[in-house]
Structure 1
Amino acid sequence: MTTFARSIDALDGFEARSIIGTVDAVRGMTVLVRRLRVPIGSVVRIEGTSRTREPVFGEVIGFDAARAIVMLLGGSNGTGPGDRVRLERVSDSIMVGESWLGRVLDGLGRPIDGGPVPTGLEARPLFPPVVNPMTRGIIDEPLATGVRAIDGVTTLGKGQRIGIFAGPGVGKSTLMASVARGTSADVNVIALVGERGREVKEFIVDALGREGLARSVVVVATGDESPLLRVRAMAAAITAAEHFRDSGRDVMLMVDSITRFAQAQRQIGLAAGEQPATKGYTPSVFALLPQLLERAGSIEGGGSITGIYTVLVEGDDLTEPVADAAKGILDGHVVLSRKFANRGHFPAIDPLDSISRVADQVSDPNHVVARRRLMELLAAHRESEELINIGAYAAGSNPMTDVAIALKPAIDAYLRQERDERAEFPVTCRALCEIAAESERLRAAAVAAKGV
């Protein structure tokens, strides 16, 4: 052994006190560490006394008196009192790049699809500084999704953020996959947060398909993984979307779901000692939501990130805390109706309960007029729906309702769509204008007949 090697070997037991701590206690998925003076968000490595044991990684989420609270990124793997805790890095960043396209990765950026390790990556912070609002671009250009009920009724703009609000089992994941395959965006970035492990591969293979995956990045953290990984999965997906946007491309960012992200952050907050508030959610949940959602948007002279975020509403309650907070941040919402799904109407989008706040400013005048007429017809039909269903509606009592009844089959056919069908944006707009024109013709005829 050389003198240098012997020197290194002799120094093996000496560590810089500023970056080394000792495990004091283990509480569930959290570890209390003594003498670890590092900031919140630091990533640490927990090493056992046995050299044969694999190290465990965690993140500092808070402090308890003189001890740091570390939440594990995985299993505890036999972690116990006396184990050494080494600082890995202070800044929380992730390596992203072009080679992420077509890949499935976890919340740490590691591939889980069996492919090679991505190369040509650059480090980007998971939580960068807030974007100056004066550098944002104006949303004035539509972004096609290939779904008629969205493109025609709740038209999206490049850089918009919209939520898909749905209870379980009404087709939100299928709708997301249809958008990923049919969108006019250059790149899809999809975050599957807290999903069941069985559903991840089904979504990627069956719903998204090879064609959709080829221009997508999928970041996955299943429900049985650490809450930290679930939060990091959403942050990593947004960071990847920012990478592609900064290269001048239009990005479609899809997160499924914000609710499971919020539940993961609630677990982290409670472990860090936060006091629960509404329905057990901690204040950090509602502080972190706008920080992440506001990162979508367009940049002047650059690309755009259009965000679609699913919100899983418990018991179809659209007023529960996460749904209510998301509505206040997002630029619109699409509501999936269980009533529609139960009668086989897919996508189960309820146009009357859905809204896009930028629809008028990204649509041409004919499209705006046709959309308003469609909403008038749907509203007229819904107001008299009970009478219509029991056969008590008297034809001729309301010209608009008469027209709505006559055009209901055509409207339903327009709003329905097969999972693999892609609707071209100009064709969608033209079909909507044709329905509006026919409604005007029928209404004029009804008024004339009534006058006679």
Structure 2
Amino acid sequence: MFNDFTADYLVGLAGGGFRPQPKVSGRLSSYDGLLMEAVGLSLPVGTVCAIGTGESRVEAEVIGFRGGRTLLMNLGGPAALLPNAPVRPVGPPGEAEVGAALLGRVVDGAGKPIDGLGPIRGAGKWPLAGKIQSPLDRGRVLQPMDVGVRAINGLLTIGQGQRVGIMAGSGVGKSVLLGMMVRAAKADVIVIGLIGERSREVSDFLETKVAGAARARSVVVAVPANHSPVLRIRGALRATAIAEAFRNEGKKVLLIMDSLTRVAHAGREIGLALGEPASARGYPPSAIAMLPSLIERAGTDVHTGGSITAIYTVLADGDDGNDPVVDSARSILDGHIVLSRALAERGV
């Protein structure tokens, strides 16, 4: 027999439309330091899961399936995991926080603020992978874009909505050139993706290049090289999604990504972990195929009048102009600027 309190409580739950929902959970069956395998749960690719409990709890993203097992990759730091650790989904795949609430802020690949200014409130949502757009919705490149560098404006003019690559070896001056653009470019919003760079360089870039008035109109997505490859790719997707949302509002956006090569490196790590065959320079097919889908999201929207002018740095490993990433980017981008090491060494 129920007492009166229990009966009233159950009636209240029924009246409030309460419906108990089962909790999806699996267990960790394999972990080799990079790739995790879980059994007992079926989740879409891109879902974020929590693995383990207490202090050993880490987050991982679903990246594929194999033989009835779910494959995941760690999003955080060292994972002190045990066999049969619980695996639970904690977030849906594919959404990024966007909007004016992010202006002046610095976030990581997961969208968490890392600038010490507190949580981001009032942000909207936008698909990480972007929204499918018809080719006929893309506008032509008609207006010049003032990037704040006279040599580029006068001799290598960039148009609004154009996708341009800055190609060079290491230490030639790509980051310095990007800093000049951030400070002086004529754009409503500047979205900066620092992907796979050294942590010291990220801190230096923020303190010396993104300061003053430039900081107030900028959004920075910083994912240093010591972060997981999944998080590095998420950082590139997040920066592009933020730029797309501003373009959808009719704004002129300058998207700067440093560097496209580090994104391809992250794709290579994931592809090889999944067992894909390595082709040119060790890059699996998925690592190179990922670049067009990322670059093609920039451009002009004929309906809103907004545009994304994208500038990607492409690191030529060993100053090799035929590097697979350089060669692929050259074929997809609207134009490219090649920095000469010989001129840089002469101080020109």
Corresponding position of 1:176: 178
Equivalence for 2:341 = 338
Aligned position for 2:13: none
- 1:223 Cα deviation from its structure 2 partner: 0.3
Q: Deviation per CA, 1:268-306, whole angstroms, max 9, x where unpaired?
A: 111122111111111111221110100000001420000
2:232 matches 1:230: yes
What's 1:258 paired with? 260
Q: Is the CA contact (8 Å cut-off) linking 1:63 and 1:272 kept in structure 2? A: no
SS at match of 2:37: strand
1:12-411 equivalent positions in 2, closer than 5 A: 16=22, 19-48=24-53, 52-53=54-55, 55-302=57-304, 303-345=306-348
Question: How many Å apart are 1:76 and its aligned residue?
Answer: 4.2
Instruction: Please give the secondary structure, in 1, of the residue aligned with 2:158.
Output: coil
Distance 1:336 1:179, change over 3 A: same
What is the CA distance between 1:62 and its match in structure 2?
1.4
Q: Distance in 2 between matches of 1:109 and 1:37?
A: 25
Provide the secondary structure at the position in 2 that maps to 1:191. Answer: strand
Preserved contact between residue 183 and residue 209 of structure 2 (Cα < 8 Å):
no
Quote how far apart the aligned CAs of 1:234 are.
Answer: 0.6
CA distance in 2 between counterparts of 1:212 and 1:172 reads 19
Separation (CA, whole Å) in 2 of partners of 1:41 and 1:91: 5
5+ residue gaps, structure 1, are: 6-13, 346-452
* Residues 90 and 115 of structure 1, relative CA distance in 2, 3 Å threshold: closer
Question: TM-score, with normalisation over the residues of structure 2?
Answer: 0.91
**Letter of the aligned partner of 2:48 in structure 1?**
V
Q: Secondary structure at the match of 1:273?
A: coil
Q: Rg: which structure is higher?
A: 1
Q: Report the count of equivalent residues.
A: 332
Q: In structure 2, what is the Cα distance between the partners aligned to 1:97 and 1:55?
A: 31
Deviations 1:351-372 (A, max 9, x none): xxxxxxxxxxxxxxxxxxxxxx
State whether residues 22 and 82 of structure 1, in contact with CA within 8 Å, keep that contact through their aligned partners in structure 2. yes
Cα drift, residue 77 of structure 1: 3.1
Partner-residue secondary structure (3-state), 1:322: helix
Contact kept, 8 Å, 1:29 with 1:76, in 2: the verdict is: no
Corresponding residue of 1:358: none
User: Quick one: distance in 2 between partners of 1:314 and 1:25?
Assistant: 34
Q: Residue 82 of structure 2: SS of its match in structure 1?
A: coil
CA distance in 2, matches of 1:313, 1:168: 8
Give 3-state SS (helix, strand or coil) of 1:113's partner: coil
| Post-superposition offset of 1:90 | 3.9
Deviation of residue 221 (structure 1)? 0.4
For residues 92 and 222 of structure 2, what CA distance do their matches in structure 1 show? 24
Which AA in structure 2 matches 1:127?
A: A
One-letter code of the match for 1:35?
A: G
When residues 109 and 90 of structure 1 are mapped into structure 2, their CA distance, relative to the original with a 3 A threshold, is closer
Residue 15 of structure 1, CA deviation: 8.6
- SS of aligned partner of 2:268: helix
Q: Greater strand percent: which structure?
A: 2
Q: Distance in 2 between matches of 1:64 and 1:91?
A: 19
Q: Which runs of 5+ in 2 are unaligned?
A: 11-19
1:25, 1:80 within 8 Å by CA — same for their partners in 2? no
Distance 2:126 2:81 in 1: 31
- Please identify which structure carries the higher helix content: 1
> How far apart, CA to CA, are the structure 1 residues paired with 2:293 and 2:162?
15
TM-score (normalised: structure 1): 0.71
Instruction: Classify the secondary structure of the residue corresponding to 1:189.
Output: strand
CA distance in 1, matches of 2:347, 2:200: 24
Question: SS of the residue aligned with 1:209?
Answer: coil
